[in-house]
Structure 1
Amino acid sequence: MFTVYATQRQHGAIEKYLADVNTQASAQVLIEAKVVEVKLNDEFRAGIDWSKDFINFSVNGSQSYISNSPSSTSTSSASSSSTGTIAPILQNIKIFGGDINVAVNAMSKFGVTKTIQNPRLHAMNNQKASLNFTNKLVYFKVEAQQSAQGSTTGGTASTVLGTVTSTKQEEDVGTQIEITPSINLKTGEITMNIQPKITNNTGSVIDPTTGYDSKFKYQNEVPIINTRELNTAVKVASGNVIVLGGLMTNTSDSESAGVPFLRNVPILGWLFKAMYKKLEVSETVIFIKATIINSGTRANKVDRELEEKYDVNRRNYF
């Protein structure tokens, strides 16, 4: 709370100014996101080079390239036993203006695209917003207690299985993005702190504590979770699209080809067919578009006019 001593005209100007300040403080951002999986063509199997492949591409606006060197981390509960590999996350960030759908359609030049998620939400100025595209991975933590009972001929105690307890565990597997927007209505720009986290289930391992007794037939599988995280800040004009890419996934499938009918003959069929592996490379691309909902054009003009009038009146008063 504060008190202002001024003329009636100045009071009216100050009241209007404070109303505009309150409008800016309560400004909101509409955040649109698309998570797209691109099955890359052979010439792009090394990944999309955003600094070169988009050099001649424009979507109704200027574009700028930001070289990003994230300090990403990779953690897992055990070594992966799957044949697929995951490249470091989000190595490239690109900003360009225009329609988010046009930007997504531009990915078709690199391969077959598939939109995985397409959420929209509102966020207050300087308030964190969360975008979650995850599934619950359920597994069980098994704890067993041993007990010694009886004795053998040699005089040693025999170990038998005691109490077994099972506890349900849950892990979020998928893509999680936390965005904190900071709005500048004077310039029409938004500074966003973006924290993406991508987790993948790459396999499982057997819990060794469930196999100490040969009579205990149950084997408890614990999932292997591969995690990629990034923390980055980007400044973008309202209505522009941010593209985050670099999450590469390699999958290998075994296929066979051969002479029809003869390839299916038992035993001898192997002479008429061949097995080969088909490598498929995919890149997950995240599109984020942030738009200021409250138009700052009028407020910016009023700000400048009131600042000029206040400086003039203050000089005249003193």
Structure 2
Amino acid sequence: TFHLDYLNARRSGSSTLTISSGTGGAEGDGSGSAEAGAGAGSTEIRREVSVDLWAAVEQGLAALVKREAEAGAQVVVNREAGTILVTAGPRLMRRVEAYLRALEAATERQVMIEAKIVEVELNRNHRLGVDWAAVASAAGGFSGNLTGGAADLLAHPPLLAQGLGGEETAFRFGATSHDLSVVLDALESQGRVRVVSSPRIAAVSNQPAVIKVAQEQTFFSVDRQTNVQAGLQQDTFTVDKEKYTIGVVLDLLPRIADDGSVVMAVHPSVTDFAGEEVFPPGAKGAEVLANAPLLKVRELDTVVRLRDGETLVIAGLIRQEERNQVDKVPLLGDLPLVGGLFRRTRHDRASSELVIFLTPHRLAPAQVAGGPEGAEGPLSLEEGG
């Protein structure tokens, strides 16, 4: 009897990034498909993840038994108990044991992903974005296209990125093995640095993980139905609400390679609230039957390869907003009619850049003691009679 400590659960998920262009527009559905109209073109990146380890175990063992064609060989898998009962001769038993040991070793690989989301309020000299060449000079350099072109990716094999960015994303990538605090200190020279969030999440190899730093904003719609009975009109209103996520969502899928590096699918999505539409158009107050948000969404889907402890830098998320600041003389500036003589309104455009740092750390696999009689050292698989 073999023991496999794994959840009896099936995990699945998908992410889709679709970019449309042309006059026809494009329409997407919940499954991630998109249909483009006449004269329109679209490019789509779709990633689907489905993990059912126990189904893979059953299929793998069935294939082993079938290949050996051993008379009387039998495999019974109990997912709830986490046990695998194998009835077979010595040759097949050794092959089953080797297969399960390799599987157990793979499922024990874990990675701790440290995320740091930073907003840099750029000063007047850097309103077009962070000067990453200056940051690299102070922090010890980057690989990737933060400071160079796409060809720079090929010159630094530790970072391998492939993906697609949406309209107005201007995502830029880089990787550094230097201390992150040095990078943050270098950013201070270009504006005020504010750490938005510093979450950490542990994930098993090949299992999806999600980091969400956002708020849910609710909008309402009103469905009006009119019924006429006996010459009288009766209106029935149904109010529906829908929530939208405003903020940063990181969809991650890490895989720990045999050489210790981490291959990670990264899907960052940054959603900002840009305004609100009302129906009927121009309605105010009680006249509004429905409202819908105007959202600015910037997202990317890519795959990167990082060394253990190396930091991925995702930059280029620049936000600009108009600010009005009123300077006035106390009391006099609030006087009616003449108050305008004692106050001044300044119009300013503020720029900020959102920077995301992701650092994977490989966790040492748990040492599981036990095994057949006479065996020495820790084993990743328990075996009993």
TM-score normalized with structure 2 length:
0.59
State the one-letter code of the partner of 1:190. Answer: V
Cα separation, 2, equivalents of 1:142 and 1:237: 52
Which residue does 2:312 correspond to in 1? 242
Matches within 5 A, 1:244-283: 244-257=314-327, 262-283=332-353
Which residue does 1:155 correspond to in 2? none
Which residue does 1:89 correspond to in 2? 169
Which residue does 2:126 correspond to in 1? 44
Which residue does 2:54 correspond to in 1? none
Alignment check: 8 A CA contact 1:143 1:166 kept: yes
Task: Work out whether 1:71 is the aligned partner of 2:164.
Answer: yes
Cα separation, 1, equivalents of 2:175 and 2:277: 41
Which residue does 1:119 correspond to in 2? 199
Task: Work out whether 1:176 is the aligned partner of 2:258.
Answer: no
Q: Deviations over 1:233-270 (max 9, x none)?
A: 11111101111111111122212335666544432332
Cα separation, 2, equivalents of 1:161 and 1:197: 45
Cα separation, 1, equivalents of 2:330 and 2:217: 42
Aligned to 1:109, the other structure's residue is in SS state: helix
Q: Which has the larger radius of gyration?
A: 1
- Counterpart selection for 2:137 from 56, 63, 72: 56
Cα separation, 2, equivalents of 1:143 and 1:258: 47
Higher RCO, 1 vs 2 (CA within 8 Å, ≥6 residues apart): 1
Task: Work out whether 1:205 is the aligned partner of 2:277.
Answer: yes
Task: Work out whether 1:32 is the aligned partner of 2:102.
Answer: no
Unmatched tracts of structure 1, length 5 or more? 4-10, 75-87, 152-158, 296-318
Which residue does 1:308 correspond to in 2? none
TM-score normalized with structure 1 length:
0.70
Identity in percent: 26
Q: Deviations over 1:97-134 (max 9, x none)?
A: 13334433432122111111111111111221111112
State the one-letter code of the partner of 1:47. Answer: G
Cα separation, 2, equivalents of 1:160 and 1:209: 25
State the one-letter code of the partner of 1:191. Answer: V
Aligned to 1:231, the other structure's residue is in SS state: strand
State the one-letter code of the partner of 2:252. Answer: I
**How far apart are 1:148 and its partner, in Å?**
5.5
Aligned to 1:55, the other structure's residue is in SS state: helix
Task: Work out whether 1:193 is the aligned partner of 2:265.
Answer: yes
Aligned to 1:126, the other structure's residue is in SS state: coil
State the one-letter code of the partner of 1:58. Answer: A
Cα separation, 2, equivalents of 1:31 and 1:229: 20
State the one-letter code of the partner of 1:99. Answer: D
RMSD: 3.4
Q: How many residues align?
A: 261
Aligned to 2:267, the other structure's residue is in SS state: strand
Q: Deviations over 1:182-221 (max 9, x none)?
A: 21132x211111101111121111122996xx9x745432
